[in-house]
Amino acid sequence: MKRHLANAAYGVIDYLAFPLGMLIVAPVVLHRLGAASYGLWTLVTSVVTIGSVAASGFGDANIQRVSRWLEQDDPVAIRRTVRNSLSIHLVLGCLLTSILLAFAGTAAARFTLVTPELNHQCFLSLCFAALIILVRALETVCVSTQRAFLRYSASIRTSLCARVLTLVVAAFLSILHASIVSIVAATALITAIGTALQFYELAKLMRVRWVAPAFHPDVLKDLFKFGIYSWLQAVSAVIFVQIDRIFLGTHLGMQAVAAYALCLQLTQPLYGIAAAGLHFLFPYFASGAGTRHSQGRQVLIATLCNVVLVTIGAAILVTFGLPLLRIWASSAIAEASAGVLPLAIISTAFAGMGVTATYTLLAHDHSRTVMLFNVIGGTISVCMMPYMLSRFGIVGLAAARLPYGVANLLLYLPLFSVLTARDFPVTAYEEVR
């Protein structure tokens, strides 16, 4: 129990450090470089987030398979799984990096229609963002393997330091009135150094001199069997969460993105804290631990904690959200966000309450179910966005996020079926050696 609580604490620390840092750094960038430059930084960050998740979506497959091999005490199978996972992420990372580099000019022109003076900065920032995506894809292999070993402190230590350092550098460069390009370039350099250290730690964990990619058809097939659905789920999730800012940027400009993004950033911890704190459930249940009764009880306890945590956070934001925005940014931005904040709180809270269901279903090889719910809910949201934005402005855009949140909450329906199934828990596992 102490180990699980420690892993939960490390997960929360890993998540909280970056958003809290953003809360501190965002006003510095906003006031020193202006709303348009801050909007550009937010937009580039969204592109990096979408690309990184798309390039690293097989991390869950790596966790699930390595957890199973750990339960069977098979270090050879673990190494093969990790090396083949590295190959998948290397290919995905290179592919997405190449695509972004090829279309960086077109994207920059589109993103800066309202602020054409930022076109060159946007182009260069997107080029550096492409490199960050590749590095993040490789880093995922290190982090997911450490988490499969339930070594959350080891997986968090280096990545956390790197992310916090990027924010410190961003604030420092903003004070010096440096460009957004400088901030993104510094982020790329720090991320690369941090990932190199992660690979050093991974090699020590695997007891090898270095971790090189490998291509074994049987192992790749096994990873794809689970990973294709978890990848689609992860990609669809991040697209549906981030794409509203891209819609807004292309229609109303960078200043509108700044107000909207600050509001959403304030609500993000509702989902993030729950997701980070309960992530240990995934490798724990994936290893086959527990019986029907014990896992059912553990899932119930986790769900109650999940719901209570998110509800308390939502109540705090409803009460203090707008005053915080006034202090954090400005009265003008707070007023512009007045209609957005309640809707953002509701949609994010719904998604946050579905975290336990998501991890438990993934652990029991139901990644396809999770993917379908996410895709259906997200597709409804995306289809609503153009109309809601043109009809109701940024408030309508925030309202369009609701179906995606509801879809995450509805995952408890298939979870109930899984927990009450006669063949639960599944102990049989096709070995790949």
In a domain, 347, yes or no: yes
- Judged against a pLDDT cut of 90, whether residue 245 lies above it is answered with no
311-325 per-position pLDDT tens digit? 999 999 999 988 888
pLDDT band at 243 (very low <50, low <70, confident <90, very high): confident
In a domain, 330, yes or no: yes
201-227 per-position pLDDT tens digit? 999 998 888 899 999 999 999 898 878
Spatial distance between the Cα atoms of 206 and 431, rounded to a whole number of angstroms: 20
In a domain, 318, yes or no: yes
Please name the residues in contact with 333: beta carbons below 8 A apart, sequence gap of 6 or more. 258, 259, 262, 325
pLDDT at residue 174 in the model: 92
Q: Which two tokens stand for residue 135?
A: 């590095």
* Interior/surface letters 120-145, b for 16+ CB within 10 angstroms, e for the rest: ebbbbbbbbbbbbbbbbbbbbbbbbb
356-387 per-position pLDDT tens digit? 999 999 888 888 899 899 899 989 998 998 89
25-44 per-position pLDDT tens digit? 888 888 888 878 888 888 89
pLDDT at residue 29 in the model: 87
Percent of the chain at pLDDT > 70 equals: 89
pTM (two decimals):
0.72
pLDDT at residue 187 in the model: 95
281-311 per-position pLDDT tens digit? 888 787 765 555 677 888 999 999 999 999 9
> Which region among 31-45, 58-72, 257-271, 397-411 has the lowest average model confidence (pLDDT)?
257-271
pLDDT at residue 265 in the model: 80
Find the distance separating the first CA and the last CA of the chain, reported in whole Å. Answer: 32
In a domain, 296, yes or no: yes
60-70 per-position pLDDT tens digit? 889 888 988 88
83-109 per-position pLDDT tens digit? 999 999 999 999 999 999 999 999 999
pLDDT at residue 104 in the model: 93
Secondary structure element (H or E) that encloses residue 427, with its range? none
- Judged against a pLDDT cut of 50, whether residue 427 lies above it is answered with no
When pLDDT is averaged across residues 183-203 and rounded to a whole number, the result is 94
pLDDT at residue 430 in the model: 42
- Judged against a pLDDT cut of 50, whether residue 433 lies above it is answered with no
- Judged against a pLDDT cut of 50, whether residue 170 lies above it is answered with yes
> Which region among 238-247, 337-346, 371-380 has the lowest average model confidence (pLDDT)?
238-247
Phi, psi of 194 (to 5 degrees): -60, -40
Which structural domain, as residue segments, surrounds residue 122? 2-420
In a domain, 229, yes or no: yes
In a domain, 120, yes or no: yes
pLDDT at residue 426 in the model: 47
Angle between helices 340-353 and 254-277 (to 10 degrees): 30
pLDDT at residue 240 in the model: 73
pLDDT at residue 25 in the model: 86
In a domain, 433, yes or no: no
141-155 per-position pLDDT tens digit? 999 999 888 787 777
* Interior/surface letters 234-249, b for 16+ CB within 10 angstroms, e for the rest: bbbbbbbbbbbbbbbb
> Which region among 115-124, 153-162, 344-353, 389-398 has the lowest average model confidence (pLDDT)?
153-162
- 361 near 367, Cβ under 8 Å? yes
Q: 211: which DSSP letter?
A: -
pLDDT band at 422 (very low <50, low <70, confident <90, very high): low
Mean pLDDT of all residues in the chain? 85
Percent of the chain at pLDDT > 90 equals: 39
Residue with the bigger pLDDT between 294 and 167: it is 167
Length of the chain in residues, anyone? 433
- Judged against a pLDDT cut of 90, whether residue 343 lies above it is answered with yes
Tally of domains within the chain? 1
In a domain, 427, yes or no: no
Q: Which two tokens stand for residue 355?
A: 């975290």
Query: How many CB atoms lie under 10 A from the CB of residue 312?
Result: 11
